[in-house]
Structure 1
């Protein structure tokens, strides 16, 4: 009866830092420090453990170096949850195989070696018990690992606790339905006392998922107090130094450098810390802070949300750039880190940057910034915007084009006018809300009124669009887009209206504009959906277009003017992508959206540029620009009536004859 009564009495809430040493035993197969978990080996995790225990913070994020004991901590936290606060747990890994390895090489070994846990979690794979290789059951819950490579995985059942391992390697567009991490967040959304734990090493600056999630919260850092001067600072690689030999035969990789002499130097007083002193200072800093009542054990906020005090726990607690300089596990030291650094620099000198990237990511816990990738600053671009009226064409503008990006619930539109030497001026940026899959939705009529209107011109009275490129790549909206293109192409004969798609295999080889492929009328099986709708598809060379736009925004190519009057999110959206190596495409430099950033502004710029190239803007001679000016001047003298946007409007008394439709080739030559 006593044993039964124990199961009825709720267990006391024991902090993770106190629970681990008595209940978690590390196996010899996976650790040089086998035996019960020793928290003094990982003082830099004490503050993280405090956040994991908290009922206030629903998200905990750690941006870290590799091989610092993070995965073991996650496994131990799962064990505590199963024993003291059971719930369904989902763990998201880049691939299914990574989840299986975690189960086999980490979690199961720890469970089997820890009596307090093995009594609770079933590590068998028997179907009768409900456990599998990727699923372990326990009373009141289960832990399940899923890969980010399948939409069915990340759209699985709800859970109260979620873990994400190596978020930078997870799928950012799983099944063409969006980011895998966001799908996992949806699984937790309706649960009370939910907890999402994200941890990993960053990859490329401004593309890193872990960097993005770290910025959402408190961005805590861990300043370490010097034993000599008593001042504290965040450990930095710049403070590591070592000796060089004065002569002798240089090492083929290390040269005259002596990694074994590496020490850490206090930037305040200059005292040298060997590995023992460095680790002792870290441990003492965390211990002193915790004894003084600081649950975060020395981790301090660098970013405080409105309404919170510096010492408060916040809903999103994030820990920033925990480098290998903080590692206190026996057997680790600065000499090995210095060797890795020297090896990386040696390879970088011969043109191979990969080892330098690994060092920055895995040793320092920092995203790698490619020197060749000059980032665009949206705030500077906004400051440089010019104060001219929206939808009003400056004197130098002669050729108006429109780029339209189609989302499920809105149309994003950019109108730009080009002139001599490929100089251009932005006339409009904005969005029209609506059900874009419905060809009868009001958004399409509103688009007509915006795109096909007459724009005021500083010199010539008015000017109209010459070409329009609209995105037709989404299968759910393509029917409505094809209908709009086909009917508007017939209605507005003077305007080239094009349905466009990007080339998924384009890495800079595809031209911005190419003629669409001819329709194969002899073979009906080869006719596409667009062919059946009577629409030709233009393929856009998106990478060359984005390269060119980036140069122009940076001021290294033909100048792109922007209008200060347009919607203010334009500049953030036009700079929302970064060109960097892609893991998906074997390291090729690819334009990629930054996590959490909308990029319709850049997409519409690409489409407007495509429309301009369709009109041979980049090939026009001075004689052709002068001819356009002459036509616009005539239009000023003999202005045409406004385009009739609605069938309900009365027809003009005198109907002006339309010129016959021109083939695409003749339009491009004009």
Structure 2
């Protein structure tokens, strides 16, 4: 009896000192991970079998012979949860210092609140190891989670200071195609972060993103240097493995045709078949995985087909987004050049100031050393645009005379061919030249007419319209405009040659409206090129020739920005037979109320 009790005690003691069982990331997730209501459509216990393609991706992290993992994917395949499982694994099972990079500091903060905090709260084994942010020791903050044996630090790729501090073993870089080309003046943010792993022999680099533009996509370049693996499933008829392929999808039957036996099978048949990752470059040391939404259990093929049709109808911008976020593939522009002669040949005769389809007018103003240039653009349903008037006002922008001429022009009435009078509803004026204060003065006195100062900012990843800041002694509202995105939009619309498609651009043939050959040469003056800053690609818009003036392109960009800032409900205006003048009427009413002309109830 004593001997038996001694044996039991020995077993218990051995159980206490024995190392934990070896777990892969997927095994850890299946045992411990709980999905939160805030971040999952299917909250509750994690189950890798729900999306079996995730297993090998997660388990490659646990492979001691694999240092770098690349995931190039569409949206809606669970890539954020893959990142979260990796983080949970290293907090609970293999404590290590970790760095999670997001494109911006704001995105890092949002990820911490929306993804990391709920996961720690709802996964019991993590709750025990990471203190509450309210704890008195202060170890757990929004951007740093400390635990025994390590920490998780969240940073923005745009913040050089956060990329140059303590060493880390695990680097997770999320949405790298949205990273800036340089963190301040320090260089490529991904390279800066990777340097922090040098002191660890067992480091891991995990890079994840939806791709963007071919030739400038970080994730695509990383993937091309990897094993280039595709999730492949066996055909229900012949059993041969093949990846989910968009060209094999048949719209009428909502089925995928086998590339080998040509049999067609429905979505449920394919997704119930066994699958495996097949490498196209197996000799590479870097593991690389590509996924598209056709494999996702959360996406229906019928909906993907409808979204494709809708994107194709809406034009190049929407189709580009669909290719990136649904197929997980980079977008390749067939040509960056615009043919100005084709645009000239498309001009039509208005026989009026403004065609009746236009509901809203906006304008852009460009400031040069000896003149001010202005374009008025009319906007219709489905982003259809009409060039209304292009004028040049010669004079010194440092003097009032030329500004007075522009002001008188912007106040003009424009008559539609159905007799309706339109006014300009919003204006953007470039303040980035030599006459910044003059622009600020002009705009400050006219902000009630939505005449705004703007400053263009080039570079990838910069939002087209940003919240304004108050600047200068005038305390004027200044909008920063991501001009590269605006040029992308304009060029994609100029390529549209079909009047019944969204985004079509009309131009008048009447000589007095200013749309001569020089205008179209200027409108098509630039092209997009990819350059490399160190190892990072950088997309720039450059002139096709130093002798060409590009003011028409800039002005169309500013007029488009004014339309986006105004943000009118075009459907409502069309259905109620209204125009953009309703905005101007509201301004007049507000002025009259201040004078006591109208009661508050009017």
TM-score w.r.t. structure 1 length?
Answer: 0.50
User: 5+ unaligned residues in a row in structure 1: which ranges?
Assistant: 244-260, 286-297, 306-313, 375-509, 511-516, 518-541, 544-579, 614-670
Q: 2:302 aligned with 1:302, yes or no? A: no
Instruction: Tell me what 1:266 maps to.
Output: 258
**Aligned pair partner of 1:174 in 176, 180, 183:** 183
Instruction: Tell me what 1:15 maps to.
Output: 24
Look up the SS of the partner of 1:153 in the other structure. helix
Instruction: Tell me what 2:301 maps to.
Output: 334
Q: After the TM superposition, which residues 393-472 of structure 1 pair with which residues of structure 2 at under 5 Å, given as runs?
A: none
**Aligned pair partner of 1:58 in 48, 67, 85:** 67
Distance (whole Å) between structure 2 residues aligned to residue 195 and residue 217 of structure 1: 15
Distance (whole Å) between structure 1 residues aligned to residue 184 and residue 15 of structure 2: 48
Distance (whole Å) between structure 1 residues aligned to residue 177 and residue 238 of structure 2: 39
Cα separation, partners in 2 of 1:209 and 1:9, compared to 1, 3 Å: same
Distance (whole Å) between structure 2 residues aligned to residue 213 and residue 62 of structure 1: 9
Look up the SS of the partner of 1:90 in the other structure. strand
Q: 2:289 aligned with 1:319, yes or no? A: yes
CA shift, 1:597, in A, is 5.3
Instruction: Tell me what 1:280 maps to.
Output: 272
Contact 1:64 1:200 in 2 (8 A): yes
Instruction: Tell me what 1:105 maps to.
Output: 114
Look up the SS of the partner of 1:591 in the other structure. strand
Q: 2:314 aligned with 1:347, yes or no? A: yes
Distance (whole Å) between structure 1 residues aligned to residue 162 and residue 217 of structure 2: 22
Distance (whole Å) between structure 2 residues aligned to residue 90 and residue 96 of structure 1: 13
Distance (whole Å) between structure 1 residues aligned to residue 19 and residue 487 of structure 2: 52
CA shift, 1:584, in A, is 10
Contact 2:249 2:255 in 1 (8 A): yes
CA shift, 1:205, in A, is 0.2
CA shift, 1:587, in A, is 6.3
CA shift, 1:86, in A, is 0.3
Residues 571-592 of structure 1: per-residue CA shift (max 9 Å, x gap): xxxxxxxxx9945988686433
Contact 1:61 1:317 in 2 (8 A): yes
CA shift, 1:25, in A, is 0.8
Q: After the TM superposition, which residues 488-637 of structure 1 pair with which residues of structure 2 at under 5 Å, given as runs?
A: 582=484, 590-594=528-532
Q: 2:221 aligned with 1:212, yes or no? A: yes
Q: 2:197 aligned with 1:188, yes or no? A: yes
Residues 117-160 of structure 1: per-residue CA shift (max 9 Å, x gap): 21112242546231101111111111110001111011121100
Contact 1:17 1:39 in 2 (8 A): yes
Instruction: Tell me what 2:425 maps to.
Output: none
Look up the SS of the partner of 1:172 in the other structure. coil
CA shift, 1:218, in A, is 1.1
Cα separation, partners in 2 of 1:131 and 1:5, compared to 1, 3 Å: farther
Look up the SS of the partner of 1:278 in the other structure. helix
Look up the SS of the partner of 1:175 in the other structure. coil
Distance (whole Å) between structure 2 residues aligned to residue 66 and residue 356 of structure 1: 15
Distance (whole Å) between structure 2 residues aligned to residue 14 and residue 114 of structure 1: 17
Contact 1:240 1:265 in 2 (8 A): yes
Residues 198-249 of structure 1: per-residue CA shift (max 9 Å, x gap): 0110000010010111122211122221011112222210111222xxxxxx
Q: Which moved more, 1:123-132 or 1:92-101?
A: 123-132
Q: Report which of the two structures shows the higher radius of gyration computed on alpha carbons.
A: 1
Distance (whole Å) between structure 1 residues aligned to residue 196 and residue 488 of structure 2: 31
Distance (whole Å) between structure 1 residues aligned to residue 488 and residue 314 of structure 2: 20
RMSD of Structure 2 on Structure 1 (CA) = 3.5
Contact 1:103 1:134 in 2 (8 A): yes
Instruction: Tell me what 2:391 maps to.
Output: none
Cα separation, partners in 2 of 1:13 and 1:598, compared to 1, 3 Å: closer
Distance (whole Å) between structure 2 residues aligned to residue 328 and residue 229 of structure 1: 23
Aligned residues: 363
Cα separation, partners in 2 of 1:35 and 1:89, compared to 1, 3 Å: same
Cα separation, partners in 2 of 1:179 and 1:93, compared to 1, 3 Å: same
Q: 2:163 aligned with 1:154, yes or no? A: yes
Residues 370-401 of structure 1: per-residue CA shift (max 9 Å, x gap): 12138xxxxxxxxxxxxxxxxxxxxxxxxxxx
Instruction: Tell me what 1:366 maps to.
Output: 329
